[in-house]
Amino acid sequence: MMKKIKVVGITALMVALFSAGSVIAADQKGMSGMEGQKGMSGMSGMEGQKGMSGMSGMEGQKGMSGMSGMQGQKGMSGMEGMSGMEGQKAKKHKKAKKSDQQGMSGMSGMSGMEGQKGMSGMSGMEGQKGMSGMSGMSGMEGKKK
């Protein structure tokens, strides 16, 4: 009887250790300190975010989070930068350079944003869907046409 209890106890202990090990490994996938993020991962300390999450300290934002301090924006955040870059295509090259800088300044000041759909511009973004245009990249797009 004693041997049986010991074997069962050891087996249960090993199962517990292995399952705990697999849970730890699953938690450490991606960035450290993140649990259960869907879509974009990249900010530390955020848990359970769905869709796009932008600024640090915000949890559970749906849709697009754009400017700092704004939560749960629907539609397009950062239209200034986008409309600026669309305007560049139609203008002449010199004017395109000027509006190129305006578009970039419209997008800057959003540093540390991750996972915006459509127009997202800042470095340090992971897992973006759609056009992730870094400010340098979108600047080059404006200069091409």
* C-alpha 25, offset from chain centre: 22
Q: How far is CA 27 from CA 19, 31, 36, 37, 38, in A?
A: 12, 9, 8, 11, 13
Residue 12, pLDDT score: 57
Domain ranges of the chain: 80-97+135-145
Rounded to 5°, the CA angle 98-92-81 comes to 45
Ordered mean pLDDT values, 10 residues apiece, the chain (145 residues): 57 52 45 44 45 44 42 41 43 49 42 44 43 42 49
- The amino acid at 124: G
Question: How confident is the model at residue 52, as a pLDDT?
Answer: 45
pLDDT value for 93: 53
Backbone angles phi, psi at 102, to 5 degrees: -65, -40
Rounded to whole angstroms, the Cα distance separating 53 from 64 reads 7
Give the torsion through C-alpha atoms of 67, 71, 73, 79, to 10 deg.
0
Q: What is the DSSP string of 80-130?
A: HHHHHHHHHHHS-HHHHHHHHHHHHHHHTT-TT----SS-B--SS--S--S
Amino acid 141: pLDDT:
46
pLDDT for 3 equals 56
pLDDT (0 to 100) of residue 56: 45
So what's the pLDDT on residue 81? 39
Residue 120 sits at φ, ψ, to 5 deg, of -130, 140
